[in-house]
Amino acid sequence: VKPSLDPAFSSWEFLLDVDGNTQLLGAGGFGQVYKAFTDKQQTVAVKIVKLEGASSASLIDEAIEKENAEISVLKAVRHPNIVQFLKSERIKKGELCIFTELISGHSLSELMQLQRRPFDEAAVRNFSKQICTALHFLHSRSPVTLHRDIKCSNIMLTNEGLIKLIDFGVAKEVFATMCSTKTAHGTLHFMAPELFSEDEGIVYSPKTDVWAFGCSVFEMLEMKPPNWQFRWQQIPLRIHNHDMPQLPAEALRPAEGLLRTVRPEGAEEASGRRGAAGAQISAVTDWHES
Ligand SMILES: Nc1ncnc2c1ncn2[C@@H]1O[C@H](COP(=O)(O)OP(=O)(O)OP(=O)(O)O)[C@@H](O)[C@H]1O
Ligand SMILES: [Mg+2]
């Protein structure tokens, strides 16, 4: 039997390298991810989310509470293609530690940078199938669980070739409004058109996850997300008023068979452009089962 992680640890230390430095696994908009060692002798990953410089203490509290609540939900999610959340802990005001299983390997965006080229069709198919399996699992849960931040930098590939979704966008909306300079520019390219409509506000749904998955397939084939050439201020209007940009011919050719699978013919016309993400949902379901 494969031993499983025990989230019941009560103390932990950063894991240090031979020179006594903390082992940084990655860094991004809202925090750093380090290796840590627990009193249950487990090596885990800990993400330290810092909300410094935010305007209001009560907003920080709200964001941290929201994040904490969502993590208790995510702790119950067990799937081989989804990072296992273990626990979250407030260490001081405005700082939250999120513990997860430690994943080997790299994110898909790091891998493309390391190999200096996009992925070939076989790899894109393999990764996509695993991503769809994970999304199908999340979206079939009751209540529905959303990822909210699907993109290549939040998808890891283990040394064994297993895809793991990481970095759920739990309280990012709250964080983003608080730290306006840190608004998730990197995530803008992956947002579905309906997220920019003024009347409805930001309403994430399984469809917006699927839209972001489609954009991630684009990124795997092109090394850049759709609309990469535009300044971030222009992105919302591009997405809202224009069709999804075509992949360039070089990227399109090896992916033709693949795109026939993800985009059922006529689906866009049938449901309108905005509903295109929705029409792809059946493709996700079919695909994960095939
Ligand atoms: N559980 C983990 N095991 C190993 N490495 C991890 C793990 N979680 C994250 N990492 C590494 O850290 C990097 C950043 O992690 P993550 O995406 O969670 O945070 P972030 O991008 O800083 O957050 P945000 O998207 O909110 O700005 C990842 O690309 C990955 O390389
Ligand atoms: Mg990330």
Pull the structure tokens for residue 29.
Answer: 């908009």
Q: How far is the CA of 166 from the centre of ligand 1 (A)?
A: 7
Q: How far, in Å, CA of 90 to CA of 285, rounded?
A: 38
Segment 170-177 shows an average pLDDT of: 63
Task: Give 105-289's CATH code, choosing from 1.10.510.10, 3.30.70.1400, 3.30.1490.20, 3.30.360.10.
Answer: 1.10.510.10
User: Above pLDDT 90, what percent of the chain?
Assistant: 57
Q: What pLDDT score was predicted for residue 178?
A: 59
Q: What's the token pair of residue 123?
A: 């790899």
**What is the per-residue pLDDT for 282?**
40
Ligand 1 atom nearest to 29, measured from its CA: 27
pLDDT for the residue numbered 261: 60
Q: What confidence score (pLDDT) does residue 170 get?
A: 72
Tell whether the model's pLDDT for residue 290 goes beyond 80. no
Backbone angles phi, psi at 74, to 5 degrees: -65, -25
What Å distances lie between residue 224 and 30, 79, 231, 237, 238, CA to CA?
22, 28, 14, 19, 16
Give the mutation target among 15, 47, 48 for probing the ligand 1 site: most ligand atoms within 8 A of CB: 47
CA of 118 to the centre of ligand 1 (A): 20
Determine the average pLDDT of the residues in 145-157: 96
* Nearest Cα residue to atom 31 of ligand 1: 26
Residue type, 123: A
Q: Which atom of ligand 1 is nearest to the CA of 26?
A: 12
Q: Tell the residue nearest (CA) to atom 13 of ligand 1.
A: 26
Is 47 annotated in some ligand binding site?
yes
Q: Is the pLDDT assigned to residue 96 strictly greater than 60?
A: yes
Q: Is the pLDDT of residue 195 over 70?
A: yes
From ligand 1's centre to the CA of 33, what distance in Å? 6
Of the two residues 21 and 187, the one the predictor is more confident about is: 21
**Rounded to two decimals, what is the model's pTM?**
0.87
- Split at pLDDT 50, 70, 90, the class of 274 is very low
Amino acid 186: pLDDT = 60
Each domain of the chain, given as residue ranges in start order, spans: 12-101, 105-289
CATH placement of domain 12-101: 3.30.200.20
Greater confidence, 184 or 69?
Answer: 69
Residue 225 CB contacts under 8 Å (≥ 6 apart), including other chains = 151, 189, 190, 215, 216, 218, 219
- Report the pocket of ligand 1 as residue ranges, CB < 6 Å: 25-31, 33, 45, 47, 83, 100-103, 107, 153-154, 166-167
Which residue would you say has higher pLDDT here, 274 or 169?
Answer: 169
What tens digit of pLDDT does each residue of 19-73 get? 999 999 998 777 899 999 999 999 999 999 887 665 677 777 777 788 888 888 9
| Mean pLDDT to the nearest integer, 152-177 | 86
Mean pLDDT of the chain: 84
Cβ proximity of 188 and 202 under 8 Å: no
Strand partners, 12: 38
Closest ligand 1 atom number to CA of residue 47: 18
- Across 151-168, average pLDDT: 97
Mapping DSSP onto H, E and C, the string for the chain reads CCCCCCCCCCCEEECECCCCCECEEEECCCEEEEEEEECCCCEEEEEEEECCCCCCHHHHHHHHHHHHHHHHHHCCCCCCCECCEEEEEEEECCEEEEEEECCCCEEHHHHHHHHCCCCCHHHHHHHHHHHHHHHHHHHHCCCCCCCCCCCHHHEEECCCCCEEECCCCCCHHHHHHHCHHHCCHHHHCCCCHHHHCCCCCCCCCHHHHHHHHHHHHHHHHHCCCCCCCCCCCCHHHHHHHCCCCCCCHHHHHHHHHHHHHHCCCCHHHHHCHHHHHHHHHHHHHHHHHC
pLDDT value at residue 199: 73
For ligand 1, the distance from its centroid to the CA atom of residue 39, given in whole angstroms, is 23
Crossing angle of helices 206-222 and 276-289, in 10° steps, is 80
The residue contributing the CA closest to ligand 1 atom 12 is 26
In sequence order, the 6+-apart residues with CB closer than 8 A to the CB of 146 are: 138, 139, 204, 205, 206, 208, 209
Q: Is 39 a catalytic residue?
A: no
